[in-house]
């Protein structure tokens, strides 16, 4: 998709799509990704407390850490400041993505 978008006329086609169309495509795409992820749970032993703990912790941290990061970055004096602006930006991007946080756990 990235390579095709480098071709001028195809790139113009993608950039001319209205935002509601892109939003609809995102809804379908993330719905399919979520459904595939949930359907993969049929192969997991859900009677094991270890597996339940891993699934629950991943879901919880994938929702809680991005919310905390957004609230923390909104403050004037936040605890995510290291003094290196590039590293601060990297940390903010990584911690604000629920997919990265949940997938890492």
83-95 per-position pLDDT tens digit: 888 888 888 888 8
Q: Of 10-19, 22-31, 32-41, 71-80, which gets the smallest average pLDDT?
A: 71-80
Give this prediction's pTM.
0.59
- Sign of the torsion angle spanned by Cα atoms 33, 63, 90, 103: negative
DSSP state of 95: H
Residue 9: is it exposed, middle or buried by C-beta count within 10 angstroms (0-12/13-18/19+)? exposed
For 30-45, what is each residue's pLDDT tens digit? 899 889 988 988 898 9
Task: Please report the pLDDT score of residue 31 as a whole number.
Answer: 92
């Amino acid at each position: 998709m990235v390579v095709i978008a480098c071709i001028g006329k195809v790139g113009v086609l993608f950039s001319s799509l209205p935002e509601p169309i892109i939003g609809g495509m995102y809804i379908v795409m993330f719905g399919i990704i979520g459904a595939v992820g949930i359907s993969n749970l049929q192969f997991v032993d859900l009677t094991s407390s270890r597996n339940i703990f891993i699934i629950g912790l991943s879901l919880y941290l994938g929702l809680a850490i991005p919310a905390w990061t957004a609230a923390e970055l909104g403050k004037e004096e936040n605890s995510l400041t290291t003094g290196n602006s590039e590293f601060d930006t990297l940390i903010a991007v990584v911690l604000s993505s629920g997919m990265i946080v949940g997938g890492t756990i």
